[in-house]
């Protein structure tokens, strides 16, 4: 079964700690994305990658970092510099780096709570 997996489903951390969210896909897609979702704000793009070993900042990249060493993996690190990290994080992929006509495929999300 092809798809995107995100782990864990729920994650709890203390303030000041870095935390890494996992995203893996076996769809052989070139493009991968990280979004943050807060109530009433829709999806906001954190980072995206159109090809291995390359990634670009999205609208709210401050306090986050990513890597794309393998086509199937795109982990997101939430650093202590992120002022308000508690949110629902969604990973997505697309077979078309331009994402013009192909839809995005989303993982189930990770809910991060920082106290």
Partner 1 sequence: GNSVTQMEGPVTLSEEAFLTINCTYTATGYPSLFWYVQYPGEGLQLLLKATKADDKGSNKGFEATYRKETTSFHLEKGSVQVSDSAVYFCALSLASGGSYIPTFGRGTSLIVHP
Q: Lay out the site mask for partner 1 across 31-60 (x = CB under 8 A, - = otherwise).
A: --x------xxxx-x--x-x-------x--
Question: Residue 27, interface with partner 1 (CB under 8 A)?
Answer: no
Among positions 11, 27, 61, 99, the unique one binding partner 1 when judged by CB under 8 A: 99
**Per rule CB under 8 A, is residue 83 in the interface with partner 1?**
no
SS3 state at 13: strand
Choose between 87 and 92: whose C-beta lies nearer to partner 1.
92
Q: Which of 36, 39, 58 is nearest to 49 (CA)?
A: 58
To partner 1, the closest distance from the beta carbon of 44 in angstroms equals 9
Q: What burial class does residue 9 get, using C-beta atoms within 10 Å of its C-beta: 0-12 exposed, 13-18 middle, 19+ buried? A: exposed
Strands (E) in 14-72, as ranges, are 19-25, 31-37, 43-51, 54-57, 64-66
Site membership for partner 1, residue 23 (CB under 8 A): no
């Amino acid at each position: 079964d092809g798809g995107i997996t995100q782990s864990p489903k729920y994650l709890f951390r203390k303030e000041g700690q870095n935390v890494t969210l996992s995203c893996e896909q076996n769809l052989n897609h070139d493009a991968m994305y990280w979004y943050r979702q807060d109530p009433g704000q829709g999806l906001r793009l954190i980072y995206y990658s159109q090809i291995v070993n390359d990634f670009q900042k999205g609208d709210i990249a401050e306090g986050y970092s990513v890597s794309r060493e393998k086509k199937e993996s795109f982990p997101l690190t939430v650093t202590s510099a992120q002022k308000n990290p508690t949110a629902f994080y969604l990973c997505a992929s697309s077979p078309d780096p331009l994402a013009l006509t192909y839809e995005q495929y989303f993982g189930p999300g990770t809910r991060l709570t920082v106290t």
